[in-house]
Amino acid sequence: MKTRSGRAATLVAAGILVSRLAGLIRRRVFAHYFGLSDEGDAFDAGFRIPNFLQNLFGEGALSASFIPVYAGLLAGGDKRAADRVAGAVASILALLVSFLVLIGVFATPLLIDAIAPGFVGAKRELTIQIVRILFPGAGLLVLSAWCLGVLNSHHRFFLSYTAPVMWNAAMIAAMVIYGGSASLPRLAVILAWGSVIGSALQFAVQVPVVLSVAPHLKMTLDLASEHVKTVVRNFTPALISRGVIQVSAYIDALIASLLPTGAVAAVTSAQILYTLPVSLFGISVSAAELPAMAAGAPEKIPERLNSGLRRIAFFVVPSAVAFMALGDVVTATLLVTGRFSYENAVYVWAILAGSGIGLLPSTLGRLYSSTFYALRDTRTPLRYALVHVGVATVLGYLFAIPLPVAIGIAPAWGAAGLTIAAGIGAWIEMLMLRRALNLRIGRTGLPFDFTAKLWAAAIAAAAVAWLVKNALPAIHPAIAGALILGPYGVVFFGATFLMRIPEASAAISQIRRRI
């Protein structure tokens, strides 16, 4: 069972890697054409509004409520009932999202005033135009998340996580085709239309496979079904939980809009880099374990959880250290091009370093939340998400606005305070989730000696990378990145292998099999 779970997590990670690489290419092209400009701020801030709809109704809330019920029916052999539930959920979701998209298009000016009060004049008008274009595409991405829930329950992980490549490709194509001739405001509008086209493509590539694995699927509003009622009942607290986290992100965007030009785009760039390890190592393990835990024996849950925590930590700890110690190298390697300068990379590094503080608890917390969802408890994660957001909001404002003034630094650096505050909130949330789950299923978590070895290996690797960095002459950022980050990875894997950490041996064996 552990082998199957590891294979599933590998498929999810592979799909996410392909998708995230496409996302990094998209962000690099975006940085090339927009840099840290007003138009870049407008697009990034505007994109957050319809994206709220996707994140609120999409993968997180839907997976938490739908997959445990659907996977449980499949495990029991009742495929017809499972497909009826899937069709009913899709119908309810399509009606609800269509209504919200319509409202969102008309209410866009009010939404802009709520999340970006610092935007005025042409910058505000451009943001409104972008948001109105993007809203229908966000609705399609919500339906794409429903496809992901169906496919994951059938252990078809790879397609659902590579489908966003189509969305990224459409946006990249829009910038490459029109970037050389269009003005920045017009290019931002064209990019928004490219996003809508990409959203449709992402949904379309999954539909044929969904129909093949769910042949009895019918779109009906079967609100009388007890299984559908269970999904709806569990969906509400999961929806609120996701909404709380999204509200926190929007508060960060609101505060960033009050900072000098470039802060919103810089925060977005840092988030894209930060979410790469979260997706690869946190979401991949959590997505693979959720249907397995929901359909498996309850007494096996602690073992599956602890194994997943170790797999996550092995890759996330070195990622966090890299963001904190080598964030300028990471950012410059991936984003320095065109209008995005090395000075911009250093600015993003400060924000990324703050994100590194909360990287480990954020990814571990996802797996703890998925465990509660597998137990059909969506209310406990909601309570702790509220605490997380409360802490992050209060500290985020203090760290971003008054603190830079108090210590005499430029206001722009307050953006780093937002991510530091979010990291503190993530630690509090994860520890509360762990304590509550331990009271319910027994002791879980990472052994102290295992965690200490990972941090020691990562810090030693960072020291070697710093020596290499200081010894290098001025060369292209991408070449410098390979020469610095390469030794970092080699030293970390070598040190953990010598420390006899099983995850290191497993990772090296997988690499050898693929060479």
For residue 8, the model assigns a pLDDT of 60
Q: Does residue 491 sit within a domain?
A: no
Average pLDDT along the chain: 84
| 475 within some domain | no
Segments forming the whole domain that contains residue 321? 2-446
Q: What is the pTM of this model?
A: 0.71
pLDDT score of 100 more than 60: yes
Q: Tokens representing 238?
A: 């999961």
Residue 295, pLDDT score = 67
The mean per-residue pLDDT over the stretch 131-142 comes to 87
The answer to whether residue 35 is domain-embedded is yes
Q: Give CB contacts under 8 A, 24+ apart, made by 474-479.
A: 477/329, 477/332, 477/333, 477/336, 477/342, 477/345, 478/333
pLDDT at 491: 95
Residue 376's contacts (CB-CB under 8 Å, 6 or more residues apart) are 68, 230, 234, 294
Give mean pLDDT, residues 417-428: 91
- Backbone dihedral angles phi then psi of residue 474, each to the nearest 5 degrees: -70, 110
Does position 96 have pLDDT exceeding 90, yes or no? no
Look at residues 324, 346, 312, 271 and name the one whose alpha carbon lies nearest to residue 488.
324
pLDDT tens per residue, range 242-281: 656 666 666 777 787 778 767 777 887 888 788 888 777 7
Q: According to DSSP H, which parts of 278-375 are helical?
A: 284-295, 301-335, 342-357, 359-374
Where is average pLDDT lowest: 3-17, 124-138, 266-280, 354-368? 3-17
Please, which pLDDT band fits residue 1 given cuts at 50, 70 and 90?
very low
Lowest mean pLDDT among 118-122, 126-130, 174-178, 281-285: 281-285
Residue 490 lies in a domain: no
Mean pLDDT within 32-52: 81
Asked if the structure places residue 460 within a domain, the reply is no
pLDDT tens by residue, 155-205: 787 777 788 899 999 999 999 999 888 899 999 999 999 999 999 999 999
* Amino acid 286: pLDDT: 72
Residue 305 inside a domain? The answer is: yes
Contacts of 213 (CB under 8 A, 6+ apart): 150, 151, 154, 156
* pLDDT above 60 for 227: yes
User: Which of 332, 354, 327, 330 is closest to 343 using CA atoms?
Assistant: 332
pLDDT of residue 452: 96
What pLDDT is recorded for position 155? 77
> What is the count of structural domains for the chain?
1
pLDDT beyond 90 at 448: yes
Mean pLDDT of 355-376: 88
What is the secondary structure of 90-127 as a DSSP string? HHHHHHHHHHHHHHHHHTHHHHHHHH-TT--HHHHHHH
Tell whether 515 is covered by a domain. Answer: no
**Digit-coded pLDDT (tens) for 476-491:** 888 999 999 999 999 9
Q: Tell whether 7 is covered by a domain.
A: yes
pLDDT confidence of 2, banded at 50, 70, 90?
very low
Which residues are paired to 506 by β-bridges?
A: none
CA–CA gap between residue 67 and residue 230 (Å, rounded): 11
Residue of higher predicted confidence among 61 and 434: 434
Q: Encoding tokens for residue 124?
A: 């505000």
